[in-house]
Amino acid sequence: MTNEIVGKVAQVTSDRELIINRGSLHGVVEGMVFRVKGSPVEVLDPDTNEVIGQIAKVKVLIRAVEVAERFCIARTFRSRKVNVGGRFEGVSLANAFQPPKWETRYETLRRDPSAGESISPDQSVVSIGDSVELAQEEDFDAEATTVWK
């Protein structure tokens, strides 16, 4: 499916934010959701070994949070609740009988979720030049290659 707004990652600014080369001149408005996709991989027919198509996996979904004329800043937004407390979560017997402690974890652009806030290109699942396209609502639950902080 071809989306009406297609751009590229211009810069990765943090472990949750990046800049894409599309802005209000291209129809981007605050709140729009985009999917960042990796390079296409060829799909081979197992019988003939012919290339029958290409597929590009979704790396992450991002939401436009600031929109300029020719670019926008977008941020990861998907989250999940994680129990870091008691009630038999984890392996610590001391915590087993403690009450649950729930934290909200956000999807990040990191390859290693234990690292800090700033991010270098080799730490990010997203690269400058990655394709960015307007996401559809059914994409919101799609698996991505990002990690949760």
Summarize pLDDT for 100-118 with one digit per residue, the tens: 888 887 788 776 555 445 5
Alpha carbon distance 38, 125 (integer Å): 9
pLDDT tens digits for 37-57? 988 889 998 889 999 999 888
Give the chain's domains with CATH numbers: 6-78+109-138 (2.40.10.410)
Write the CA distances from 34 to 1, 40, 63, 73, 110, integer angstroms: 14, 17, 6, 11, 18
Q: Is the pLDDT of residue 87 over 80?
A: no
Give burial (CB, 10 Å; 0-12/13-18/19+) of 10: middle
